[in-house]
Structure 1
């Protein structure tokens, strides 16, 4: 396939796709992965958040393609650009969310000797994460036609820059709006997501955000003299997520265990490239892999000495369940809304673990392990979505599967780079007391210990969470409502409602034309917001270092 030209995907063969292990491409993806890992480590330890670097990686690949040397001609190929952005985003989330954050937990508990054992366990979990989404992407549970908002934004950025013309202009208009709105504190990434995410799911998220930002503070002020939220209010979001999460897992299980004839019919209707049987086998393999890693962690961290044989077996089973359950819940949330509450979900499983009576160090390893699963799974899902769009939206299955395989290889390169960077730099960060804020939250939760009052309200609030999830079916309304309660605020809720109102009005006016317009403008808003956040955060980091 000639670099710089976009051709009809239906005419391509598997051998036409660029290779991730091409020497020049491999070197560039490794170098950009180093950049991604550094960005992730700096942001999450100093600011407490991780920036999506997919679009940054895509733009970097486009810049490389402009260098007038034969060596860089290959980067004019949109699929090469896709591999670069896959690797950099994989390294960013792996280094920050899946590695530096989990290994900080045992260190904060006074067990620095467990830093590298935990890093090995977290890295293994990250690899399983990436493998599972590679195998189940475009299955009945994670259908490629679902939103995966960040993936849409990345692919539309690459296509607009490649095609130029009207789409490119619309993208830049959206990017300007996204950056401008973000500059004034408006969450323009949410604004863009609302233009192509599931309407019901985004509405649930918006309602949850409004409840978190307005209703809960007013309720707290009304019943608390000192303004401190009582237990019944403080743990409302967590209880809602527990209830919704459990129902979501039941829904996933019911899908997995459908009778094969019904599965085949559903498969034909959705035209997925991954069958229900294949998805079922993959998730079973994943659970067994998480069991093995949990056993490995129990042995190399020494927590097995703190528990009897029965409690140890329960811990291993629960840790494996928490790993794959957290992964699926976080992945489904991100698929519909672009937001993935991985750390909040890990906190919920930690609370359940506390109620089960596990000793402190076992709880620390449990929450670190759970937190390591989900981010990489979700990030690679969005990268695969971007690749799926760039490869023609599945019109050529042979070419699509070949491209998906090359993305998986690039993602593994990103994970390897992330592991090396964290192994080399973790002690430097920790020696400066630079730990991920969420890790400190986990430690504080463990120190608070089991509390009957907390357990009672978690159970009570789990009931409405379960009901909402049941009523929403597979649209994940309960999960998204709980996500809004956990990480949202009033501005987030209002922004989503305004964006949805514009979307509904535009579609009533001219459905086809309006949808195409909102699609590219929404992607631009996400891209502009992401780039503004990246550069503004980097500038702030520079100021911190000067001080």
Structure 2
């Protein structure tokens, strides 16, 4: 006989209402209109200046402004969670159009095969869809925890919160955003400093070291590291170890699995009695090892399906033997999966993703294996279609995770909100596909193609002229693997060192290290002021982290605003 659950105590927090839906008429209309804007901005900037700006903050600001319009229906956009849905779609449409769609189809076009643009676009759409699906399945697992840095997501969330709450928080964020914008205006990578206030200290320390080494190696060592494939080798070694670590995270020991199952049964029995106790916990994972394993395996299978589609409609089958075709499909599937994971891990910790460099690694591997020109171009385009959207969805989920912290019960609300964000992202992706379908011919006919696509095609045409390239990459893979192994999965030190070497943005290393020093000094200052009381010191550290997060978010937001403002140069 069932028993009536006891009523929660009088001081229990109220249960949240249902999360706003992505397909509500007003939200959907605003999402579509701003997604068109984001896709156009992404196309214009990637084909002229070679950058794909993060429009999350722009989407959030526009959604907030729309919510201030004195019209009954639009007032609904004052809700932070609806603003989160809109900014998720806007940033998704920007990265999808610029990185996942227009760049891959430019590769066969520049190779003199415009007939392959449509098959490549179909493959890129599959890559984009699988990319976002995998992240939706595995976000907030041990491999990609929501509690990690995801800096652009923090910037978007803090922008929305500051607009909603106002006061000191809005002031601090606004001042930091102005500093970030002005710094970017004088060519300083202020987003790098902002990231250093938000991420894992060890990971960012290695990122800063990599940036400094890349900047000063030509002057101090009189050598071009990139020309000798040093950064590529470090990334190969670190990436391989990172993949092994990811596989290990998907495993569960029998005892741990039994304990987890027992906990799940106990939680199910108590759910109706203690729903009000389901509060936010940063260390509680909403995705277990089994779902992580299934998500990555499903992604690999779907990537293989996409590779088969490209092979059939791109003419790969006619120019290769049966064994060669099977090998090409397997390599394309592995390249897509590895590319998304490496780019995602780098973005999670540093906010920067070396998509171009990791794609170039697979291009060089294809040259070493002797893959013919057209199949290699399609392989490169397919790999390039994955990664950026994977990272961007992670940023947006992080923003929603922050905004949903106060929900009670928390886990159902978090899962529901994440699902609505994913649906909003799909709307943004669909808009991006339509914009690219309409715009690619006019853009390409005017010679407006992404600069990175020119590099890919130039490398394919030139071939592997350096016989020592493979040897150098193999040698430098060893220290990359060792650093990644010693740092472990939580720090990703090898991947972040390689990211810094590959990104090689001038002055960014100094800004990262300076921000880390400020972060350490400010935390110690607040800690000492709190005295010897443990509780007071814990509160002081939490307050210091909150202030630093606002400053970092403001710097990232200001830098992003500057990037978007550069569209006037491209028009």
Q: TM-score range, shorter-chain basis?
A: over 0.9
Seen in structure 2, the aligned counterparts of structure 1 residues 49 and 202 have a Cα distance that, compared at 3 Å, is same
1:480 aligns with 2:496: yes
- CA distance, structure 2, for counterparts of residue 351 and residue 298 of structure 1: 20
* Cα root mean square deviation, aligned: 1.9
| Equivalent in the alignment of 1:339 | 352
Larger radius of gyration: 2
Q: 1:392: how far off?
A: 1.1
Seen in structure 2, the aligned counterparts of structure 1 residues 349 and 258 have a Cα distance that, compared at 3 Å, is farther
**How many aligned residue pairs are there?**
525
| Equivalent in the alignment of 1:457 | 472
Seen in structure 2, the aligned counterparts of structure 1 residues 532 and 490 have a Cα distance that, compared at 3 Å, is closer
User: 1:117–1:300: 8 Å Cα contact kept in structure 2?
Assistant: yes
Seen in structure 2, the aligned counterparts of structure 1 residues 136 and 42 have a Cα distance that, compared at 3 Å, is same
- CA distance, structure 2, for counterparts of residue 138 and residue 86 of structure 1: 17
User: 1:149–1:336: 8 Å Cα contact kept in structure 2?
Assistant: yes
User: 2:225–2:231: 8 Å Cα contact kept in structure 1?
Assistant: no
Seen in structure 2, the aligned counterparts of structure 1 residues 302 and 11 have a Cα distance that, compared at 3 Å, is farther
Return the structure number with greater helix share. Answer: 1
| Equivalent in the alignment of 2:549 | 519
User: 2:211–2:508: 8 Å Cα contact kept in structure 1?
Assistant: yes
1:418 aligns with 2:421: no
Matches within 5 A, 1:429-508: 429-450=443-464, 451-474=466-489, 475-508=491-524
- CA distance, structure 2, for counterparts of residue 410 and residue 515 of structure 1: 30
Seen in structure 2, the aligned counterparts of structure 1 residues 165 and 244 have a Cα distance that, compared at 3 Å, is same
User: 2:228–2:469: 8 Å Cα contact kept in structure 1?
Assistant: no
User: 2:180–2:557: 8 Å Cα contact kept in structure 1?
Assistant: yes
| Equivalent in the alignment of 1:240 | 234
Matches within 5 A, 1:16-415: 16-220=18-222, 229=224, 233-262=227-256, 270-392=283-405, 396-415=410-429
Moved more, 75-84 or 345-354: 345-354
Per-residue CA shift, 1:48-85, capped at 9, x if unaligned? 01000000000000110111110201100001100110
Per-residue CA shift, 1:93-133, capped at 9, x if unaligned? 00000000000001111110111111111011101111111
TM-score (normalizing by structure 2): 0.89
Seen in structure 2, the aligned counterparts of structure 1 residues 207 and 360 have a Cα distance that, compared at 3 Å, is same
Q: 1:453: how far off?
A: 1.6
User: 2:119–2:310: 8 Å Cα contact kept in structure 1?
Assistant: yes
Per-residue CA shift, 1:381-413, capped at 9, x if unaligned? 100000011111776111111111110110000
Q: 1:32: how far off?
A: 0.6
Equivalent residue of 2:222, what SS?
A: helix
- CA distance, structure 2, for counterparts of residue 364 and residue 285 of structure 1: 25
Q: 1:364: how far off?
A: 0.4
User: 1:9–1:399: 8 Å Cα contact kept in structure 2?
Assistant: no
- CA distance, structure 1, for counterparts of residue 156 and residue 254 of structure 2: 36
User: 1:9–1:391: 8 Å Cα contact kept in structure 2?
Assistant: no
User: 1:294–1:316: 8 Å Cα contact kept in structure 2?
Assistant: yes
- CA distance, structure 2, for counterparts of residue 243 and residue 131 of structure 1: 27
Seen in structure 2, the aligned counterparts of structure 1 residues 330 and 540 have a Cα distance that, compared at 3 Å, is same
Q: 1:325: how far off?
A: 0.7
Q: 1:166: how far off?
A: 1.1
| Equivalent in the alignment of 1:4 | none
Moved more, 503-512 or 99-108: 503-512
Per-residue CA shift, 1:509-535, capped at 9, x if unaligned? 113332221111111111111112211
- CA distance, structure 2, for counterparts of residue 488 and residue 393 of structure 1: 40
Seen in structure 2, the aligned counterparts of structure 1 residues 442 and 159 have a Cα distance that, compared at 3 Å, is same
Seen in structure 2, the aligned counterparts of structure 1 residues 179 and 513 have a Cα distance that, compared at 3 Å, is same
User: 1:220–1:230: 8 Å Cα contact kept in structure 2?
Assistant: no
Stretches of structure 2 lacking an aligned partner (at least 5 in a row): 1-10, 264-281, 527-540
| Equivalent in the alignment of 2:563 | 533
Equivalent residue of 2:509, what SS?
A: helix
TM-score (normalizing by structure 1): 0.93
